[in-house]
Structure 1
């Protein structure tokens, strides 16, 4: 056993509470180790001091999270059965020969060997566990309510820009920087969240585009590409954006962002590789939204309308699977004109369901008493980190029942 001189640091009262233990998942440990190794080959002047890219985010009254560049981890405090001492080498003055108290409390006036001396800086009684978690992007819905961007917003943007120049305060606006600091999500997840929720950045502020206006712009874009016989994989960004600006008064910055949502934009090469299937999906969702929540439309009639809107050039891309997580298909019913069975669609978006798992399952089982696996899983993807986490939620809140038609999920609790 190694013997050493143990003493309390002269700053122990100041250091108390300054240290925390983190239990790192393997992927975080690897990230930190690789970042430390990179220090030997990279000049520190090229960094801001955060080599790992780790950030702790949270606002008052809410749980904090730890974020990497692309993942979010929950932080949970767990009490330890035994206290742990944080010890370090002694200060420089002690190492050079200043008196130090030994473990027995006897003060040694002789020169202290720094290799045999440690000082106690703090005592820890808990450890912080980290676990992957779903980013809290749902907060954007409430923060941006009432700030939607539509066809009448261009004039508002002009007024907003003038107010900014004049020094007017815009307390009612929510900027991208505000989102980076207030939303418990990694920077990568936030960027993807803005894209998935169709949120524009206009004059530095976040503005969710209205579904009707987005569908209108996408219809114009498809028609323009067809009329100009543009190549889908190399469509000219400037020509499309300029035409929409001149003929439909859609700002260039808005068109550029929408094009980036539905494909890959390379401004230096003036090239847009359009994801037409994603555009067709969004147009289908727009048509479905027109019927509102709770109302239905006959499936065949809806598909015909959808194909007509996207034109015969893209009608082969129309399929019900594109609307997964946003639609419910009713059981077949008898037609009023005979014995033919019909199926109706109902707009039912997962984005408008509760984000808390118990409330989400309660809403699902109030809507339907039993679900097939393929039907329910699309409505769980946004509250589960991965498929393993999704299966855990199903096991906890639902009961699997196997009958002649296959596996069905029913509620574990009774909802009335």
Structure 2
């Protein structure tokens, strides 16, 4: 335990003027239990500090074979250990200069124990949510309708919201948004993704009813759809497919849906392309237009991120290439794309890397980092920076 004389002697050795310092003295010493492994430091940006101060939680998610991420209610952060050359001390009872100034000036000496120490801390960096696993989990047991459900055994995997929050490395809001993108729905409390053939069966029922009743696509009445199609499929499934492919609104107390032409045409194209390795482009365009509901118009802009056109072949061809099926990691995504096609025009590759862009990153910046550009027939094309 240091005395006042020892403190003053130490100040003299350090060539510090006691008159320039606050009178109280805090002498630090290590607790017998202090250890480097007992405590961890986490560096938080002001937004995350405000989350905790408001009483909300931050959650660390990840299985043993995954790198941990930290999630707030709506954002996901990578966690990385950052080393520091200074030893960081945990001192629960130590007072800051601001706190000492608020006290009465005193010459007392207080002896304070160091509870722990660390030479590193966890650094957070905003990242994209890791949502591929969500689709993978739901595809273990796709929903094929009530008849198929009765034939299934109870051993098939099913996931509640809590199960998905526990296993998917993303925030709750990001997971719920992705469930909408995947057209997932809750069946008896479990999240299920619709089998694509069953999804198209439901959509066909709705579009055929619209045609038979001569309804405009922007005013499809919910109640009549449920009355007419209820005997064929569960009413909640009929309403779900209307939500997936339309926009809900109310007019004079009645609920209507405005069907989304692009979504309907896009789903029809996927149905046609999934059973063919390649399709003659002109023949596909003709069959596609004939397959969509009368009154809707197809266009290649509806196929961005879903189908790839090969204009170098004769005749031109088209094949299914869904961005949802590509790897989530940036380098793996580019490796996959360059294994499919050696050289890409920016207009062709853009729909397949758009989702990789962070808030401050552009498609051009991604291409500069992961691809090499050259000119081919007067058009700038991109190929891999490394052998694929």
> Normalising by structure 1, what TM-score?
0.74
Aligned twin of 2:242 = 259
1:139-288 maps to which residues of 2 (within 5 A)?
A: 139-150=133-144, 153-158=145-150, 172-246=157-231, 248=232, 250-265=233-248, 270-288=255-273
Q: Distance in 1 between matches of 2:242 and 2:29?
A: 62
Task: Report the 3-state secondary structure (helix = DSSP H, G, I; strand = E; otherwise coil) of the residue aligned with 2:344.
Answer: strand
1:375 matched to 2:355? The reply is no
1:397 matched to 2:370? The reply is yes
Aligned twin of 2:41 = 20
Aligned twin of 2:326 = 353
1:85-164 maps to which residues of 2 (within 5 A)?
A: 85-89=89-93, 120-150=114-144, 153-158=145-150
Q: Distance in 2 between matches of 1:219 and 1:15?
A: 63
Q: Which moved more, 1:255-264 or 1:374-383?
A: 255-264
Contact persistence 2:143–2:149 (CA under 8 A): no
Aligned twin of 1:309 = 291
Change (3 A) 1:14 1:228: farther
Contact persistence 1:80–1:126 (CA under 8 A): yes
Aligned twin of 2:79 = 75
Contact persistence 2:221–2:256 (CA under 8 A): yes
Task: Report the 3-state secondary structure (helix = DSSP H, G, I; strand = E; otherwise coil) of the residue aligned with 1:380.
Answer: helix
Q: Distance in 1 between matches of 2:383 and 2:163?
A: 41
Deviation at 1:387, TM superposition (A): 6.7
Deviation at 1:372, TM superposition (A): 0.6
Aligned twin of 1:59 = 63
Aligned twin of 2:281 = 299
Contact persistence 1:23–1:128 (CA under 8 A): no
In structure 1, stretches of 5+ residues that fail to align are 40-48, 92-110, 164-168, 335-341
Number of residues of Structure 1 aligned to a counterpart in Structure 2: 355
Instruction: Provide the alpha-carbon RMSD of the alignment.
Output: 3.3
> Normalising by structure 2, what TM-score?
0.79
Contact persistence 2:91–2:115 (CA under 8 A): yes
Contact persistence 2:141–2:157 (CA under 8 A): no
Aligned twin of 2:3 = none
Q: Distance in 2 between matches of 1:180 and 1:313?
A: 42
Deviation at 1:373, TM superposition (A): 0.8
In structure 2, stretches of 5+ residues that fail to align are 1-20, 96-105
Q: Distance in 2 between matches of 1:243 and 1:399?
A: 57
Contact persistence 1:89–1:117 (CA under 8 A): no
